[in-house]
Amino acid sequence: MAELKLPSIDEVKKYLRVSILTLSQLDEYEKLWLGRKGKINGYLSSMNEKSPDERGKYGLQINSFKKSVVSLLHKKRDRLRKSGGIDDADVTLPGISYPKGSVHLVSIAIEEISRIYEKIGFIRTSYPEVEYEYFSFESLNMPKGHAARDDFETSYIDAPIHPKWGKMLLTPHTSSGQVREMWRVGKPPIRMINIAKTYRPNWDATHTPMFFQFEGLCVDEGINITHLKGTLDYFVKEYFGPDIEGRLRPHHFQFTEPSFEVDVTCTVCKGTTKTGESKCKVCKSGWLELGGTGMVHPNVLKAGRIDSKKYSGWAFGFGVERVIMMKYGIDDIRNYYAGDIRFLEQF
């Protein structure tokens, strides 16, 4: 005959000793076990499902356990009353262990990225997620009528329009922090790494309405593309590994001139374009696109109150979720936020 599975009385004793420190806590704990809808009545109700022969043995087990619980509760109540309602517990004793979660893989990546750039003197910053048009567009050399300012690309907020800064919106990129950082620092040198949430109304395997970006900005005298390339190569090696290479490919962005797309060696096929005998399904060319970069446009420096004839700089903007996808070969960005513990536990 199978025995009824009851908690260990030692567990109850330990919980009373460590976690119940006041009479009010004891009252709640007593209800948990002995109340009309308490655990012990629940055990007794389950006996209806047993055969007549089993009920006798189960009844003895439950009554014995109940007597032990009642005795422990009475002793604890007497001790609390004698001490004025508060237990003189030894708080240095080990507590009850509870299941723990883990740090989300996006948070892990943000800490890794922050440490990588801290080593070369970049200061971690954070700027508003709810922003004005001026900082997200005009200050970045993106005039009215630019495609990125369309309602289908940007999430505007129903709020009063500022006479100088324009409409309010959920910031579509961390680049909106560039001019704010220039204003804050005043005079170069500037070395900023801005990591924050950004928003665009897209939803598919490679886009979510909310995602994280990290923005790099470096402004000083004599800054040129070689400094940009060296910094990006450093990041690629540190984050993806020593066997991964980076390259710059000409492109166009309104806020940089010249502008580049940044590619890195495919982390799946290691740049060979093949996985076994088959063509690599991830890259097809041996390279994966990381993000955009370039030399800061003189108009952006001007908006930031920086003399573009004396100073120059570079900037880049990469998606945090995207670099994680590339590092671990994840094929759907929505997995990060679906709440599936089986996926999250891998990291």
* Residue 189 shares a structural domain with residue 313: yes
- Share above pLDDT 90 across residues of the chain, in percent, rounded to a whole number: 46
Residue 100 domain-assigned (yes or no)? no
Residue 88 domain-assigned (yes or no)? no
* Residue 206 shares a structural domain with residue 71: no
Are β-strands 274-275 and 278-279 bridged in parallel, bridged antiparallel, or unpaired? Answer: antiparallel
CB-based contacts of 305: which residues, under 8 Å, 6+ apart?
A: 182, 183, 186
* Residue 28 shares a structural domain with residue 122: no
By CB atoms closer than 10 A (0-12, 13-18, 19+), residue 258 is: middle
Query: Which domain-ending residue is among 82, 113, 141?
Result: 82
Residue 133 domain-assigned (yes or no)? no
Range 60-81 average pLDDT: 88
* Two structure tokens written together for 200: 């665009």
Q: Does residue 306 carry a pLDDT above 90? A: yes
Contact 201/155 with Cβ under 8 angstroms? yes
Are β-strands 210-220 and 130-132 bridged in parallel, bridged antiparallel, or unpaired? Answer: unpaired
H or E segment to which residue 261 belongs: strand 256-265
Residue 4 domain-assigned (yes or no)? no
**0.75 exceeded by the pTM?**
no
* Residue 119 shares a structural domain with residue 262: yes
Q: At what angle do helices 320-328 and 225-240 cross, to 10 degrees?
A: 50
* Residue 55 shares a structural domain with residue 183: no
Residue 295 domain-assigned (yes or no)? yes
* Two structure tokens written together for 131: 């922003």
* Residue 121 shares a structural domain with residue 212: yes
Alpha helices (H) in the chain, listed in sequence order: 9-19, 23-34, 39-45, 52-82, 105-118, 133-136, 177-185, 225-240, 298-303, 320-328, 341-344
Range 118-125 average pLDDT: 94
Contact 296/312 with Cβ under 8 angstroms? yes
Boundaries of domain holding 303? 105-126+179-344
Return the pLDDT at 209.
Answer: 87
Domains held by the chain: number = 2
* Residue 189 shares a structural domain with residue 229: yes
Return the pLDDT at 336.
Answer: 87
